[in-house]
Amino acid sequence: MDFAELDDKRKEHFLGGGIEKQQEQRKKEKMTGFERIAILFDPESFEEIDQFVTHDCQDFGMADKKILGDGVITGYGTIDGRLFYSFCHDFTVFGGSLGLHFAYKICKIMDLALKQGVPIIGINDSGGARIQEGVESLGGYAEIFHRNVKASGVIPQISLIMGPCAGGAVYSPAITDFIIMTKSAYMFVTGPEVVKEVTNENVSSIELGGAIIHNQKSGVAHFLAEDEIDCFNILRKLVSFLPSNNLEEPPKISPTDDPKRKGEDLNLILPSDSRKPYNMDRIIRTIVDDGDFFEVQKFWAKNIIIGFARLDGNSVGIIANNPEVLAGVLDINSCDKATRFIRFCDCFNIPLITLVDVPGFLPGTDQEWGGIIRHGAKFLYAFSESSVPKLTVIIRKAYGGAYCVMNSKHIGGDYNFAWPNAEIAVMGADSACNIIFRKEISNSQNPEKKRTDLIIDYEKKFSNPYIAASKGYIDNIIEPKDTREKLISALKSIYKKREELPKRKHGNIPV
């Protein structure tokens, strides 16, 4: 048997685009594809397939430039002992650009991952469609997009962006569940040259679509990684919360934190003036196991907080209003952010914990003209449609439509708790009295005193949790310090929940 040929070919494959190209990659502080795979997967666990694939393009001198593997590394391996499929662009080969056979390699492992029910991790570092291959490379992309959609909600799909990601190439990562970007990476549909031509704006690639932009402004990315090692660490942490597919439960770890641990600080955390902010992150970390909260999209739409944590070893998704930003009001971006997160958790059997302190929806032409109605409806729809266990704690305010939206009992909350000072009302006492007692106040001898008396009276009557509790809309009013214990107990009692929606092709969520 001729092992020498196999050996030679393997060596050739592992050289990718050659030593010079690998050095160029390192000069840009980027790893090569093979180095990335070696760091991401458990030692010696990665099995590569299709090492010998090449393109069959004959044009533009490409017939003489065939590189084994064609610029993408595909295969499977384990991360912390769990199986994952992965593809990794090799920028040293034609700038990681995607041709037809390159695309087919990716499609092959996407099909295998879907059949087996295993998450897929895409490592992106590419100049986009391989220009020499023309429409074949466009078709290759579209085949990938189509598979991304088929796999959506069946297996988790995660994209790491570690270099350029331009043109239509952005749409595969955009369909996947999470995008982690390194600081030097960028994503855009049209690059700086086209932008200059069309709009006369001067921007660099990073200014247009760098990791900071997509983490802070556009909401396209979910995590910002300092460098490539950080990117892999974020990925490892993320997948630790997720099941491998929609038919599995999320991994349960042996809890190291007492399920009955009290959070004494929480009894004192709310300021006496209910218009003053406080730190919701502290509440979350006090409640969850070991104070370990893994925040998602932490730099975008900061008026809502989303992320993963564990309660007594079980993965949960947390959605919490953030009183420190815009008083925790709901706006277009916060609705979008929470909606996608709720739907992800619902796809993958991750229970939802909602912590409410919301004064309502953000008023103004900006929001109304931007379609806050549509975006708020989407948020409401997502909670309402989700069938995982859903627990809510009203921490402070739950006003108006936002009360309904934030996983109220009426839209399917399984357990709805409130802290004793919760204000559940159609609107704040000030605004309510100005509307319903306008005449009484203006006709009074002392309008200011009358107004204050009416507000106090209204607050006593309506801005408390007892009326909602008397109607069963709130299952229990709990002391803040007991929140962790109550949530863990409630979650245990509903963890195996199964709820069927009416049979249909799919609903029509207002997007």
Binding site for ligand HXC (CB under 6 A): 94-95, 97, 127-132, 138, 141, 164, 166-169
Q: Choose between 71 and 75: whose C-beta lies nearer to ligand HXC.
A: 71
Looking at 134, 219, 371, 401, which residue is catalytic?
401
CB-based contact 352:391 (threshold 8 Å): yes
Q: Choose between 23 and 446: whose C-beta lies nearer to ligand HXC.
A: 23
Give the shortest CB-219-to-ligand HXC separation in angstroms: 22
Looking at 139, 168, 191, 313, which residue is catalytic?
168
Give the shortest CB-78-to-ligand HXC separation in angstroms: 32
The verdict on whether 328 is a catalytic residue reads no
H/E segment holding residue 114: helix 100-116
Give the C-alpha separation, 366 to 216, whole Å.
19
Give the shortest CB-48-to-ligand HXC separation in angstroms: 22
Q: Choose between 97 and 215: whose C-beta lies nearer to ligand HXC.
A: 97
Give the shortest CB-140-to-ligand HXC separation in angstroms: 8
The verdict on whether 402 is a catalytic residue reads yes
CB-based contact 92:16 (threshold 8 Å): yes
H/E segment holding residue 454: helix 447-462
Give the shortest CB-20-to-ligand HXC separation in angstroms: 9
Nearest-CA neighbor of 168 among 155, 187, 152, 192?
Answer: 187
CB-based contact 286:277 (threshold 8 Å): no
Give the C-alpha separation, 335 to 375, whole Å.
6
Q: Choose between 214 and 390: whose C-beta lies nearer to ligand HXC.
A: 214
DSSP 159: E
Q: Choose between 41 and 94: whose C-beta lies nearer to ligand HXC.
A: 94
Q: Choose between 77 and 128: whose C-beta lies nearer to ligand HXC.
A: 128
Kindly report the backbone phi and psi dihedral angles of residue 407, in degrees, each rounded to the nearest multiple of 5, phi listed first.
50, 50
Give the C-alpha separation, 401 to 428, whole Å.
12
Q: Choose between 13 and 21: whose C-beta lies nearer to ligand HXC.
A: 21
Give the shortest CB-141-to-ligand HXC separation in angstroms: 4
**Residue holding tokens 């003209």?**
369
The verdict on whether 398 is a catalytic residue reads no
**Residue holding tokens 């806050």?**
372
Compute the radius of gyration of the chain from its Cα atoms: 26
Give the C-alpha separation, 230 to 452, whole Å.
55
Q: Choose between 127 and 413: whose C-beta lies nearer to ligand HXC.
A: 127
Helix (H, G, I), strand (E, B) or coil at 417: strand
Give the C-alpha separation, 445 to 360, whole Å.
33
Give the CA-trace dihedral at 68, 74, 75, 76, to 10 degrees.
Answer: 150
Give the CA-trace dihedral at 410, 416, 419, 425, to 10 degrees.
Answer: 0
Looking at 402, 422, 429, 432, which residue is catalytic?
402
The verdict on whether 412 is a catalytic residue reads no
Give the shortest CB-8-to-ligand HXC separation in angstroms: 23
Give the shortest CB-500-to-ligand HXC separation in angstroms: 37
Give the C-alpha separation, 255 to 88, whole Å.
35
Instruction: Locate 88 and state its tokens.
Output: 């990794």
Q: How far is CA 458 from CA 232, 454, 470, in A?
A: 53, 6, 17
Question: Which are the contacts of 185, defined by CB distance < 8 A and separation ≥ 6?
Answer: 124, 125, 161, 162, 163, 164, 165, 210, 211
Looking at 128, 163, 167, 376, which residue is catalytic?
167
- Catalytic positions are 167-168, 401-402
